[in-house]
A = this chain, B = another copy of it.
Amino acid sequence: MSLRERKRARIRQTLVDAATELFERDGYDETTIADIAAAADIGTRTFFSYFASKEELLFPESDARVRAAVEAIASRGPGEGPAEVLLRALRKVGDDNDEMASRLAALRLRLIRTVPAVRGRGLQIQFEAQREIARNLAEAFPEQLDEVSAAALTGAFVGAVTSALQVLLDDADALDDPAAVQEAVRRATDVALTPWLRAPAAEQPARGTA
């Protein structure tokens, strides 16, 4: 890794840290990009060569997560069907999310619930991730899934978990308690995916299809 790359990575991290700090202290809307840049000792203009917008600061590493899921799909066992593989891949993402202990993750969760712009960006990122995952899933099971079915299956899984989680975390005053969040995530996955587990033969999702 060249000096340039290292320096860049370091500044990037500094920006995320500074932003986390400021968002927590002053609030998201109250913190300007100029503030963040200043706190990281770079010019305001330069900020945009690291992140395209203020929201992006809250979703660094999103690439890595998708990559992890894709790998999980690639390494499927011989006996696994699409649903099992997908389930395993999504669990992986959820576990990585165990960095839920990280300040950033907790902050993100709070801001997603309270700042529309953040929620919007979050949904978009999730949607893109789904898409990518579905693409790989279809590739891994060319016999059983075409792109549309793979997307439907992925969308159903992720949609179920996301929605369940939304409800669970809504009343939760326990957002500050990482353990409680963990618990909620686990419960959401359980509730959302139990039906699939009970229906093990999801091998040919598209029945009569014309």
- A residues bordering B, Cβ < 8 Å? 116, 119-121, 123-124, 127, 130-131, 134, 147-149, 151-164, 166-168, 183-184, 187-188, 190-192, 194-196, 198-199, 202, 205-207, 209-210
Q: How far is the CB of A56 from chain B (nearest CB, A)?
A: 12
**If the complex has contacts A120-B121, A167-B131, A205-B191, are A153 and B160 also in contact, measured as CB distance less than 8 A?**
yes
**If the complex has contacts A123-B123, A198-B195, are A130 and B163 also in contact, measured as CB distance less than 8 A?**
yes
Could you say which residues of chain B place their CB within 8 Å of the CB of A160?
152-153, 155-156, 159
Q: In the bound complex, what is the Cα–Cα distance between A183 and B151 (angstroms)?
A: 14
Q: List 9 A-B contacts (CB under 8 A).
A: A123-B124, A148-B168, A148-B188, A149-B187, A151-B163, A155-B162, A156-B159, A156-B191, A190-B206
Q: Please give the count of copies of this chain that the complex contains.
A: 2
Could you tell me the dominant secondary structure of chain A's interface residues? helix
Q: How far is the CB of A61 from chain B (nearest CB, A)?
A: 20
Could you say which residues of chain B place their CB within 8 Å of the CB of A131?
163, 166-167
By beta carbon, the residue of chain B nearest A162 is B155
